[in-house]
Structure 1
Amino acid sequence: MARRVFVHIGLPKTATTYLQTIVWSSRDRLREDGVLLPGLGRFDHLWSSRIVRDDPRLSKASEEHRTAWERLREEIAAYDGDALVTHEFFAAASAEQACRMAEQLAPAEMHVVITARDLLGLFTASWQESLKNRGTAPMSTYSREVSEDPRDVWNWRTLDLHLVLQRWSEAVAHERIHVLPLDTSAPRDEIWHRFAGLLGLGADAYDLSRSFPNESMGVVEAEVLRRVNEHLVAGKALGPARDRGMFIRTYLADERLVPRRGEKFWPQPDRVAECRARNEAALDYLRSHPVDVVGDLARLEIPAELPPRRTPDSVTDAEVAAVATDLIASLLTDVRDLSVDRPAAPAASRRGLLGALRRR
């Protein structure tokens, strides 16, 4: 049985994609360094999070997906070093589900790893991430309540570090909960160095060239995507989740809207105040409990004075139309390339949707 199992539970939008691309692209090297990354691929960790959280949709899933958590546990049981399980949706688990997970991994010692950031930045980033996942809620109404449903991810349930700490501390002693504050002003690889150090890895020995962050959209671009989603929901277009991920998230959001480098934005003033209150509760919890903070706790503080930025409700119809028409022109060019010329995919596009379609 593995000696320790590090369960990286997020939070969402705290460099999780960046860290996961590093470890999955270096899986063999991790094994050489004594850390097992179990499963057939990163989707096994996603499906394991759904199994742990008792997702009722599992009955309609493939056998490969339904057995993901069982297969991960079998690999961990057959290994005598440390193991790593990583997916940000584990953060939504209830206290009971977290306790059951710890019991299923016993006698291995479970450690919980939480990458975190100040709640104002996290809330802002998570709203646009919900749009990439077909969300339609305006920022003014996004995540107004704390969901009691472990299936709900884009909600205070997973965004509020205080709530996550309270639930998971019922399963794991505070000393085995490791919080890594994200320093958004530091070089990108700084969070990797602390994450690797926690796992006992030599961070400099790993190739970071294939890692990439999950980047955000500008304020106008986010509103464009939100309105597109409203039409898609009304028309029930792009049914399968895989297609939604490919066309909405990858192609439209990440490949067309994110590269525009639009304006950064804040929530409305009442939401900023809400973020401050929840953020302070999390900081109070960390100061009063023996949680292992790996880094500077001050990085989780929200500045008293914020630089001026727009809010999403300030976006005008004219701004939406300008981005949308430019987007249509880009889409037409892509359609022409695919349907008429069908050239070989350039190296830069091989990771994206167009590269995938051209290789069909």
Structure 2
Amino acid sequence: MSEKVFVHIGLPKTGTSYLQSIIWPHRGRLAELGVLVPGREKRDHLLSSLIVRGDDAVRRRGPGAEEAWDVVRAQVAAHPGTSVISHEFFCSASAQQWQRMVDDLAPAEVHVVVTAREPLGLFTSSWQESLKNKSTTPMADYGRSESDDPREIWDWRALDLGLVLERLRGAVPDERVHVIVGPGPEDPRDELWRRFAGVIGVDPDAVPHEHAFPNASMGVVEAELLRRLNAHLTDVRSARERARWIRTFLADGLLVTDSAERYWPGDDQVADARRRGDRALDLVGAGGYDVVGDAERLRVPADLPPRRHPSDVTEAEVLAASVRLNARLVEEVRRRTLDAEAARHQPAPPRLRHLLARRLTGRDVRR
């Protein structure tokens, strides 16, 4: 049985994908260092988060999906050192679900790793991520609730650090909750990895991480364009298809730009984010949490630079972005078509030619 299990629960949009892009490709190296990343494949941690939170959607995830948590638990039980489980959707689990999860991992000592950032930036990033999941909700209507449903991700239930910490209480002692504050722009690019590695007890330089990058963002015009496009993508239904075609191909592949124009929500939403940040900071200060980084960064800055609201995007801007997107789509279709044609006309390797000829003629044509 693992002595310690570190469960990294997000929050969403706090560098989770960046950390996972280091953990999973190098799970072999981590194993050499005594750290197990359990599961048959990366998606087992996502599936485990669905199972733990009682989300019936796991039944639609294909063969073996409903066994993911059992697989993860069995591998943790067989490993004598440290284990790491990471998925940002765990953060929505209820207090009762957290207690069951800790019981499932017993007798290992469960630690929870929470990556966090100030809630206004988190809010805007979360809205954009919801668009990548096919949402059509305007920013003015986003984040107006605190859901009681642990299956819900894209509202304050998962984004409010204070709410998440309150649900953890009772299941995990405060001193075993590690709050990693997101680094600032002046910090080294790999600072988040260094903080995370320090928590799980790994030398950050012992694991390759130089080629991992945080997710890029769409600008305000591109985000508004995607929001409108989502209403017409009626054939893209499953979570797997949304991830493949909307998030990866369309948003990250075609709509992300180097000159992305950043944006803010409305004044009332800014005030709400500020209140939540102040409350979370008070809670962190009053508890016995292990805080890594400057806790003051969990507070929304007093002075914010001027930025547009997505509703200020003009029809002309959407049209221009649509033209650019169509041009890139044509270029992408052309590239893939030429690659496919080149592959069809590539001479078969000699061994393959020999096998095909013998099947067709019954003779050995090698010379």
Residue 158 of structure 1 corresponds to which residue in structure 2?
158
Q: CA deviation at 1:260?
A: 4.8
Q: Distance in 2 between matches of 1:333 and 1:183?
A: 37
Counterpart contact for 1:25–1:210, Cα < 8 Å: no
**Cα offset, 1:210, TM superposition:** 3.7
Q: Distance in 1 between matches of 2:141 and 2:256?
A: 23
Alpha-carbon separation, structure 1, partners of 2:218 and 2:87: 22
Pair 1:184 & 2:184 matched: yes
Partner of 1:350: none
Q: Which residue of 1 aligns with 2:364?
A: none
* Matching residue of 1:348: none
1:18 partnered with 2:14: no
**Match runs of 1:103-142 below 5 Å:** 103-142=103-142
1:196-233 CA distance string (max 9 Å, x none): 0111111112211342212211100100000001222x
* Secondary structure of 2:140's aligned partner: coil
Deviation at 1:188, TM superposition (A): 2.0
Cα distance between partner residues in 1 of 2:250 and 2:102: 39
Contact 2:59–2:65 (Cα < 8 Å) also in 1: no
1:197 aligns to 2:198 (yes or no):
yes
Query: By how many angstroms is 1:108 displaced?
Result: 0.3
Cα distance between partner residues in 2 of 1:188 and 1:14: 14
Q: Deviations over 1:122-167 (max 9, x none)?
A: 0011100111111111111012011111111111000000000000
| CA distance in structure 1 between the aligned counterparts of 2:241 and 2:11, rounded to whole angstroms | 25
Residues 24 and 42 of structure 1 are in contact (CA less than 8 Å); yes or no, is this contact kept in structure 2?
yes
Contact 1:111 1:176 (C-alpha < 8 Å) held by counterparts: yes
Q: CA contact under 8 A between 2:8 and 2:113: conserved in structure 1?
A: yes
Name the counterpart of 1:352: none
Aligned to 2:315: 317
Deviation at 1:341, TM superposition (A): 5.7
Q: Is the aligned partner of 1:292 residue 2:293?
A: no
Output aligned runs, 1:1-360, within 5 Å.
1-185=1-185, 186-232=187-233, 236-339=234-337, 342=340
Determine if contact 2:179/2:291 at 8 Å carries over to the other structure.
Answer: yes
Q: Which amino acid aligns with 1:84?
A: V
Unmatched runs of 5 consecutive residues or more in structure 2: 344-367
Contact (CA 8 Å) 2:127, 2:142: kept in 1 or not? yes
CA gap of 1:153–1:333, structure 2 versus 1, over 3 A, is: same
1:117 shift after superposition: 0.2
Q: 1:349 matched to which residue of 2?
A: none
Distance 1:106 1:118 in 2: 33
2:224 and 2:310 in contact (8 A); partners too:
yes
Give the aligned length.
Answer: 342
* Secondary structure of the corresponding residue to residue 255 of structure 1: helix
- Aligned-pair Cα RMSD in Å: 1.4
- Asked whether the 8 Å contact 1:10–1:115 carries over to 2, the reply is yes
Q: Deviations over 1:292-317 (max 9, x none)?
A: 10111122121111011111111111
TM value normalised by structure 1: 0.92
2:180 match: secondary structure: strand
State the secondary structure of the residue aligned to 1:342: helix
Structure 1 residues 60 and 219: CA distance shift in structure 2, 3 A = closer
Whether the 8 Å contact between 1:21 and 1:210 is mirrored in structure 2 is no
Q: AA paired with 2:71?
A: R
1:101/1:344 Cα in 2 relative to 1: closer, same or farther (>3 Å)?
A: farther
What is the SS of the residue equivalent to 2:335?
A: helix
SS at match of 1:54: coil
CA contact 2:89–2:153 (8 Å) conserved in 1: yes
Q: How does the TM-score come out when normalised to structure 2?
A: 0.90
Contact 2:219–2:257 (CA under 8 A) maintained in structure 1 = no
Percent of pairs identical after alignment?
A: 53
1:340: Cα distance to partner?
5.1
Unaligned runs of 5+ residues in structure 1 are 346-360
Task: Please tell me the residue identity of whatever aligns with 1:120.
Answer: L
Measured in 1, the distance between the counterparts of 2:9 and 2:272 equals 23
